[in-house]
Structure formats: structure tokens, C-alpha cells
Amino acid sequence: MFETFQGVVEDKKKAIYLRPETAQGIFINFKNIQRAMRAKLPFGVAQVGKSFRNEVTPGNFIFRTREFEQMELEFFFDEETPNSYFDELVNKSYDFMLKLGLSKNNLKVRKHDQEELAHYSKATVDLEYNFPFGW
């Protein structure tokens, strides 16, 4: 988490922490979202917002900054019921990127290994872009 201080004087009593991810808001509001949407599993919630990370060596200009905009989709499903929604969503997201004009040569789908998953995740996929400095 990104530690900073509230006020003009650095005082541990006034330490505050900025969120490293956007996902917390989705999980905290899960029940409210489900009730308001009258949603039944499976369903997804997308969010765009600012995140903050204490990058030790910010580099590559705007790509490794301490403050950045993050887009995230959390997809909720009943783990007892097999579903194809997750794969379908990944495919539609990939197709959307192609429709935006991104080249297939510069785009890839990367599934996270089991040890990379967050504690709340059964599966995670990143759509990665090949920038001049790499993936």
C-alpha cells in the first residue's frame, strides 16, 4: 500500500494509505450491487479508478508511475456449476481490443498460474500489450 500523510507535517498519527487496486470497492459493495441489479450468478462488475503503488524505480515514462488509472472486471459465479462465461468474456474482451485497432501481433492473453492468483480468485487473465520495451 502507498503510505502518505494527511496535512503539511509528516506525523505517523496522520499516516494514510492509498489503495493499490480497484477491486476492494467491488467486493465491499458486492451485496449492494447484487441487490440493486437483481443479479443472479453468474454476473460481472467492471470498474475504472485510480490506484497507487510505491514503485521503487519508476521508469518507462508513463508506464511505471506511482499513480495510475486501472480498469478491472470481477466476474462472480457459482463454483459448483461449470460455466463457459469466463472464457467467453475473455474472448469478447480480446475481440474488442482488435476492433479498437490493436494488432494481434502486439496482443496476448496471459492466464495466471495458480501461485499468482489472488486469494479471492479462481482464475485471472491479463490482456497484455507488447510495448516497444516489452510485454
Share the mean pLDDT of the chain.
85
103 with 72, same domain: the answer is no
Which three three-digit cell numbers place residue 27?
A: 467486493
- pTM of the shown model: 0.69
Q: What pLDDT, in 10s, does the model give residues 55-93?
A: 776 666 677 777 888 888 888 888 776 667 888 889 999
67 with 6, same domain: the answer is yes
The pLDDT value given to residue 35: 94
Cβ atoms 94, 129 nearer than 8 A = no
The total number of structural domains in the chain stands at: 2
14 with 69, same domain: the answer is yes
Last residue of a domain, one of 78, 112, 127: 78
Segment 9-18 shows an average pLDDT of 76
Cβ atoms 33, 26 nearer than 8 A = yes
List own/partner pairs for 26-31 with CB under 8 A and 24 or more apart: 26/72, 26/74, 27/74, 27/120, 30/76
CA separation for the pair 121, 114 (Å, rounded): 9
64 with 104, same domain: the answer is no
Segment 23-41 shows an average pLDDT of 90
55 with 5, same domain: the answer is yes
- 106: containing domain: 84-135
